[in-house]
Amino acid sequence: MELPPYELGDQTDVTMLFQFAPFFQSWFPEGWASSPWWDEFEGRTNTSWELREISSMAWQENVNLLCASGDLPDVVSNIGSVYNGGLSQAIRDEMIVDLKPILEESAPYYYSIVSQDDYTMKTMVDDDGQMGAMYATKSTIYTVDNGLWIRKDWLDELGMDIPTTTDEMKTVLEGFRDSFGADVGLYQMVRSNTNQVFCAVEGVWNAFGSTDFYLDEDGNVQFGPMQDYYYDYLAFLKSLAEEDLFLTSDMTDQTSMTLFASGGIGIQGDDPDNLKSNIALLPEDEQAKVVMVPMAALGEPTELGAKASLANGEGSISISTNCEEPEAVIHAIDYLFTDDGAILSSYGIEGLTFEYEDGKPELSDLVLKNPDGMPARAAMGYYTNPGLPGMIDPDRSHKYWNDTQKSGYGIWESAYTGSSMTFPKDALSLTSDEQDSISVYYADMVTYATEWANGVVFGDTQLTDAEIASFQDTMRTTMHIDEIVDVYAAAYERFMAR
């Protein structure tokens, strides 16, 4: 379908509640609004944006307070991740606008992208056909775009191979600890506000099974922590933790960067963009010899393919009902899905953050080799689209990737064992009755199960048959896990029927 040329609308002032990751804050303390990207975007769309910047650590509290007071600004990023009942409930509560009726006319470029295949559109709307958010989209989809990295230089000194089983991983981590002082071994960041029990340890859960809701072989919804394999998973992690070979961010005040810089980490999950900046944290003599290589997830690869949506949930915005001109706001954002806008979204400003080479945009050293030492990931978050919906080129940072970084995607995909899209929990919408039926105990269930799992892995709780039976009984009788599973099963049936 041929789309009309993008036309500027009337001057529009926009207020936005903007979520940012704490990692970035130290690199630009004046905030995202100081970036030249915003000036460029405002000029091209005839808009003026006033940002209220909130760390993800304080995000839920601030969103809840503004919802309670009725003072949400025009635009809110990622409200669905923290609003009780998600986007559908936020629409029912008249906190945000249903964008579906105005999308095709006001944002035709975005609409043409998300409506081009049935699965993507399924993930965009709720069971009533309402659309509570716009999302960033990707020009290229990778099934797996991050995974494990391991100290190959240490492996070589020990005469060991990259582990492919849990037993081999433990042996390798023991060698790293005993020979190189890696007293953390395997490190896992635990993301806040995920509403998930404990954590899915990168590349390790794959050897056992899903740690969250999933579909079994018969297509039925199940919950990982209620399955026998989950206790084998916890038992393996406990065996590591007891020998100081495993740590999560919940169990330490130190950051992954600090632990890696001190030589405490031998295996960790990350994406290829961060490889060089991580190595740069090490002492100079160590940098010269360190070799980090991608490591495939443990376990047997499956034939189950990911249903990949073009949408990237990391860059979502919703329009609050306080906004007087929702059509003008989404029309401005639609610019970032035009050809020129997609370049601005992914690469920023020509002559400053990118140049054309052989007709293709390439990020400049200001972004990829920042003279102030800013990591490429942080520089891209500042000098290119910082979090609005827009077309994103996931290959944009590959110019300076070495062969090791480039090999990551292939190695991780070769061991593919499923993905979060196998059961699209975040795309489901619950009815008011369903939300009411589980809202009173879902958070308590997650808290209880997480504390129990932490007690097993890092504490004195023993995985006896009696202890497991007691846990499952509490999950069923007090935490209502069976009712929660039934609710998600019904919501999944409606999702598939959209």
pLDDT tens per residue across span 258-271: 899 899 999 999 88
Q: Find the helix packing angle between 228-241 and 442-458, rounded to 10°.
A: 50
Q: Find the helix packing angle between 442-458 and 481-496, rounded to 10°.
A: 120
3-class SS shares of the chain: helix, strand, coil, % to 5: 45, 15, 40
Question: 327, 106 in Cβ contact below 8 A?
Answer: yes
Distance CA 38, CA 116 (A): 29
Residues 6+ apart with CB under 8 A from 92: 85, 432
Distance CA 54, CA 312 (A): 21
Q: What is the pTM of this model?
A: 0.82
CB atoms within 10 A of CB 102: 16
- Which residues share a beta bridge with 350? 354
Q: Which residues of the chain have pLDDT under 50?
A: 303-308, 419-421
Any idea which residue has 């997609």 for tokens? Answer: 342
Residues 6+ apart with CB under 8 A from 4: 108
Distance CA 198, CA 8 (A): 48
- Please give the backbone phi and psi of residue 395, each rounded to the nearest 5 degrees, phi first: -90, 5
Distance CA 185, CA 176 (A): 7
User: What is the per-residue pLDDT across 278-337, written as a single tens digit (0 to 9) for each?
Assistant: 888 888 888 989 999 999 999 877 544 444 455 555 679 999 999 999 999 999 999 999
Residues 6+ apart with CB under 8 A from 434: 487, 490, 491
DSSP category for residue 358: T
Torsion sign (Cα): 176, 174, 236, 302: positive
- pLDDT for the residue numbered 304: 43
DSSP category for residue 96: B
Distance CA 413, CA 288 (A): 29
Q: Is 16 exposed, middle or buried (0-12, 13-18, 19+ CB in 10 A)?
A: buried
Distance CA 35, CA 49 (A): 12
- Which residues share a beta bridge with 20? 55
Distance CA 63, CA 75 (A): 12
Q: Is 324 exposed, middle or buried (0-12, 13-18, 19+ CB in 10 A)?
A: exposed
